[in-house]
Amino acid sequence: MEQHNPVHAPIPGLGLRSLKTALAATLTALLYALIPGRNPTFACIGAIFGMGADMTDSRRSGGNRFFGTIIGGFIGLGLFWLEHLFWPEGCYWIRLPLVFLGIIILVALCVLFHWPGGVQPGGVVLCIILFNTPANYINYAFYRMLDTGVGVLIALLVNYVFSRKRIEDWFHLKSSKPEIKRDSED
């Protein structure tokens, strides 16, 4: 496992990634404070899951979260619609095989599109839509997908603006990563 060397950690374990994660979640909540009637919960979750150690890791983490949410959201929408087509009042016992079917479809699509990391967040969204969706389920599912995208985008932006190299340059800090010296005679 790679050794983590924080830029500055007066509190053990609190490094640059922790600060960027907190900043991304706070900026996301601030943005949602400006939008009347919107709840920042899922966007903040997207920001937290979207923050990685660097841009590459953030794109992977955020991509997993966003892709899984989109796929799980659409599968959940379809299955919720199907359930209510035959049982307008809903039927818990029908949701059980629908969850099974939905997860199988989700796994297959994530593997097909080479995003296996999207299974967990997609499964969460699928279950939320099937078991916790209000009557206006299309708006609910759409906003869960949109909110996740907003949070992931803010995490990527924060990680880009506050990259380790930029922080080290701004504060004239010496890099904690050892330089690799190469022999001129390879």
pLDDT per residue over 132-151, tens digit each? Answer: 876 666 788 888 889 999 99
Vertex 116, ends 27 and 153: CA angle to 5°?
Answer: 20
pLDDT band at 184 (very low <50, low <70, confident <90, very high): very low
Closest CA to 39 of 122, 153, 139, 124: 139
Task: Provide the residue count of the chain.
Answer: 186
CA distance linking residue 87 with residue 90, whole number of Å: 5
Lowest mean pLDDT, pick from 35-39, 128-132, 137-141: 137-141
Residue 4: per-residue pLDDT = 54
Residue 152: per-residue pLDDT = 93
55 with 20: CB under 8 angstroms? no
Q: Tell me the torsion sign for CA atoms 158, 164, 166, 169.
A: positive
Which amino acid is residue 137, in one-letter code? Y
- 36's enclosing H/E stretch is none
CA dihedral 136, 137, 138, 142 (to 10 degrees): 110
Residue 180: per-residue pLDDT = 53
For the chain, the 3-state helix, strand and coil shares in percent, each to the nearest 5, are 70, 0, 30
